[in-house]
Amino acid sequence: MLTRKQFEILRLIAERENLLSQRMIAGILGYSVGTVNKILKELSGLNWLSSGKITQMGREALEPYRAKRAIFLAAGVGSRLMPVTLNTPKPLVRVNGVRMLDGLIDACLAVGIEEIYVTRGYFAEQFDQLLLKYPMIKFIENPVFNETNDISSAYYARHLMQNAYVFESDLILYRPELIKKYHYTSDFLGVYKERSDDWCFDVRDGVITAEKYGGFNCYQMIGISYWSAEDGAKLEEHIAQAYELPGGRERYWEQAPLTVFHDQYRVEIIPCQEGDVAEIDTYKELKAIDPAYAAFQ
């Protein structure tokens, strides 16, 4: 297993095709030049680096940390986006000419994630249109999408959570580079807020300690998360257990690891900025992002 500093430096070199000086690495990662020098010697001694470039052995060392698949929770009705979703699933709604789901999928493909799963329910057959552009997509049917929250979609996809991204499908991703090829641990995107009136996380030392609705000095949740091989294996059982608890079908899927079984996970926060990702929950929000919808009341 790589140490955290070994991972961060090896990952950075793997992601950058150009050679990086020790000072550049230190500046990007916030390490001292002395620390970078020490770690580079360790990586070279293991034959993971050669002349400042990652070797095949180095890529093999990173393989356990590679994001291998992406799961899109896309089965819901999207009732708050009516009338646009009256005949169209929310993830297929076009915003400035592009389907919401396309930007998320494209970001995954850009970092080599080609194992793509889409859970579907509402107007399920309309998702077939995605196959023209993305023939690698596999669909997961959710027969109870209209009776539960999104935990049911996670329930039907729970056996795929290892080394996996899990996406809400109503997001506009303005910074595709937020989707990373390698992850040291499970993580969730969030935007720091002095005050939030939405779902948010308490965070201590970079680790999520609680999920709640509304709060102060917290990170507002962005529906993009990554789950390591170890945590993904636990999720298969924990999502099923949370789903079957009294009231479990009314939960949101991430409450399984972050609330019901929170003591068995260590999920880091990946800070991002306001404007990096837009979540479209309502018709009003849609009109604000795409003025073309303003003509329809």
Torsion, CA 39, CA 228, CA 177, CA 175, rounded to 10 = -140
8-17, 80-89, 112-121, range with the lowest pLDDT = 80-89
Angle, alpha carbons 274-277-282 (nearest 5°): 100
Secondary structure letter of residue 253 according to DSSP: T
| 173 beta partners | 277
Rounded-to-integer distance, Cα 170 and Cα 101, Å: 7
Same domain, 28 and 71: no
pLDDT at 243 over 60: yes
Q: Which amino acid is at 17?
A: E
- pLDDT at position 145: 92
Same domain, 92 and 103: yes
Secondary structure letter of residue 290 according to DSSP: -
Displacement of CA 136 from its chain's centroid (Å): 19
Contact 95, 169 (CB under 8 A): no
pLDDT at 292 over 90: no
Same domain, 243 and 135: yes
Rounded-to-integer distance, Cα 240 and Cα 220, Å: 26
Between residues 286 and 140, the one the model is more confident about: 140
What CATH number corresponds to the domain at position 82? 3.90.550.10
Domain boundary among 37, 64, 91: 64
- pLDDT at position 28: 94
Mean pLDDT of 174-187: 97
Mean pLDDT of 135-145: 97
The whole domain housing 31 covers 4-64
Mean pLDDT of the chain: 95
Same domain, 179 and 52: no
Rounded-to-integer distance, Cα 6 and Cα 44, Å: 11
The 10s digit of each residue's pLDDT in 90-134 is 999 999 999 999 999 999 999 999 999 999 999 999 999 999 999
What CATH number corresponds to the domain at position 19? 1.10.10.10
Same domain, 75 and 107: yes
- pLDDT at position 192: 97
Confidence of residue 19 (pLDDT cuts 50, 70, 90): confident
Angle, alpha carbons 24-111-7 (nearest 5°): 45
Mean pLDDT of 128-156: 96
Domain boundary among 64, 84, 113: 64
Share of the chain above pLDDT 90, in %: 86
Same domain, 53 and 120: no
Domain boundary among 13, 45, 64: 64
pLDDT at 193 over 90: yes
Torsion, CA 179, CA 278, CA 257, CA 202, rounded to 10 = 110
Same domain, 74 and 43: no
Displacement of CA 82 from its chain's centroid (Å): 26
pLDDT at 36 over 80: yes
- pLDDT at position 297: 56
- pLDDT at position 248: 94
Same domain, 234 and 276: yes
Q: Which residues contact 53 (CB under 8 A, 6 or more apart)?
A: 13, 19
Same domain, 73 and 164: yes
- pLDDT at position 82: 82
Q: DSSP assignment of 168-233, as one string?
A: ESSEEES-GGGS-SB-SS-EEEEEEEEEEEEEEEEEETTEEEEEEEEEEEEEEEEEEEEE-HHHHH
Report pTM.
0.94
- pLDDT at position 296: 60
- pLDDT at position 139: 98
Count of CB atoms situated within 10 Å of the CB of 127? 22
Helix (H) or strand (E) segment spanning residue 280: none
Rounded-to-integer distance, Cα 223 and Cα 166, Å: 8
Same domain, 197 and 271: yes
Same domain, 174 and 153: yes
Same domain, 59 and 115: no
Total number of residues shown for the chain: 297
pLDDT at 14 over 80: yes
pLDDT at 20 over 60: yes
